[in-house]
A and B are shown apart, each in its own frame.
Chain A
Amino acid sequence: MAKPTPSQTVGPFFARELLWKDGGTVLFAGRGERITLTGCVFDGVGAPIFDALFETWQADPAGTFPSGDDGARPYGYGRVSTDRDGRYAIETMMPGPFKGPGGETYAPQISVSIFARGLLKALRTRVFLAPLDAIKDDPLARAIGDTTRLRTLIAARDPRDPKIYRWDVRLRGAGEAVFIEL
């Protein structure tokens, strides 16, 4: 087995080099319910992280994994940087649930990678677009167990605008999001 190449930080001068035109609008081949996943990324003292690269990868509304492209960009992938307030926004479609190899059901979710100065490795996790009682059988929800920690991965639907799902991410300390090792 060849040894994997070690990870290094993206920071700090990535923005101009890596961002895509309209990278915050995720493309799909078909139609579905348009939603926006948005929120802020905070550090260990609650300060906004204004220089993170935030990437998303998800199933389409039917729970199928996007395999094509529109000629300019791949389907299903989002890429933005956080702004001055630590805010990111991904305009996308509501992903459908999908099955794992053992027949287990993955709840509607978006896989997220966060890269930033001070992160020697990407932080990876999955954000759920369904309430707590609808995700209990999801493999990650089962692996986490503890409800308080699991809640850090649930995006809250905005009561005034049901198209908007809010998910704030704390990298460290109180309310720290669960991060995963694949």
Chain B
Amino acid sequence: MAETPVADIHPPYLYPDYNSTRLRAPSQPLVRVAPSPLETAGPAFPKQFVKDSEADLTTWGRSAPLGEKMVLVGRVLDEGGRPVRRSLVEVWQANASGKYPHPVDDHDAPLDPNFLGKGQLLTDDEGRYRLVTVKPGAYPWQNHAFGWRPAHIHFSLFGNAYAQRLITQMFFPGDPLLAIDPIFQSVPEAGRSLLIAVLDLEHGIEGVALGYRWDMVLRGPRATPMGV
């Protein structure tokens, strides 16, 4: 089986412009091993684990959250283009002013009582998902002088096998902050566009919400056909 040059797509562990990597990146090369049969299997999330309402982050409070309402649609596929079915997708994000309801977020921006910024869903039989939310705001961080994170939504995926587990971030097209964000820039150039959603107005809600589309691709374990 041909190997995808993963090194050209994923960021390195050590990326000095992102300061925290300097003390946390392993210094030794990874040991390459075939996934164990345990790792080509994976946890089964019960249907009840996810409520349908958890895919809509805008209905959590008593009224609508502040911000630019948006619908995000897409598919989760494997490298062979096959849908990743009934797989858990978790999301979390800042509110429209760039604030997380988290005790260590000291950004001086308002919390939104109608926005928790947390959701989850299971992909359908075609690997599709649909999320309703508000566009998150950019926020400052301490990594470097005048550092601001571009608007982003965090994604956590389980795939259909433990070996496919992925945590990543989705960004917005045309954001000038992408150019100064070491976390985004840590991705080799060939991979960066894969993290940016595209505007897709038809998936929005007329007069209510902008539409965006973003597909995710999970890697199968090397040299092992996943067949899931």
A2 to B78, CA, bound (A): 8
B33 close to A182 (CB less than 8 A): yes
* Other-chain residue from B6, B49, B221 in contact with A72 (beta carbon distance below 8 A): B49
A118 to B23, CA, bound (A): 8
A13 close to B28 (CB less than 8 A): no
Given contacts A57-B43, A181-B31, A182-B222, whether A17 and B49 have CB atoms under 8 Å apart is no
Interface centre among B10, B24, B49, B217 (most CB of A within 10 A): B24
B22 adjacent to chain A (CB < 8 Å): yes
B194 close to A121 (CB less than 8 A): no
* Other-chain residue from A16, A45, A71, A177 in contact with B46 (beta carbon distance below 8 A): A71
Residue interface bits B151-162, CB-to-A below 8 A is 1, else 0: 000101000001
B-contacting residues, A103-126, CB 8 Å? 106, 111, 113, 115-123, 126
B79 close to A2 (CB less than 8 A): yes
B-side contacts of A66, CB under 8 Å = 43-44
A-side contacts of B101, CB under 8 Å = 16
Q: Interface size on A (CB < 8 Å)?
A: 72
Residue interface bits B3-24, CB-to-A below 8 A is 1, else 0: 0101001111101001111111
A-side contacts of B18, CB under 8 Å = 9, 118, 120
Q: Which of A32-40, A136-144, A155-163 contacts B (4 or more CB under 8 A)?
A: A136-144
* Other-chain residue from A15, A71, A101, A120 in contact with B11 (beta carbon distance below 8 A): A120
Q: How far is the CB of B46 from chain A (nearest CB, A)?
A: 4
Given contacts A4-B6, A44-B24, A117-B20, whether A76 and B90 have CB atoms under 8 Å apart is no
* Other-chain residue from B6, B33, B44, B102 in contact with A143 (beta carbon distance below 8 A): B33
Interface residues on B, range: 35 or more
The residues of A with any CB-CB pair to B shorter than 8 Å are: 1-18, 43-45, 47, 49, 55, 57-59, 65-77, 98-101, 106, 111, 113, 115-123, 126, 139-140, 143-144, 149, 171-173, 176-182
The residues of B with any CB-CB pair to A shorter than 8 Å are: 2, 4, 6, 9-13, 15, 18-28, 30-39, 41-46, 48-49, 77-81, 90, 92, 94, 100-102, 104-105, 117-118, 154, 156, 162-163, 165-169, 183-184, 186-188, 190-192, 194-195, 216-219, 221-222
A selection of 14 A-B contacts at a CB cut-off of 8 Å is A2-B77, A4-B217, A7-B11, A8-B195, A15-B102, A47-B23, A49-B24, A65-B37, A69-B46, A74-B46, A143-B31, A179-B30, A180-B31, A181-B30
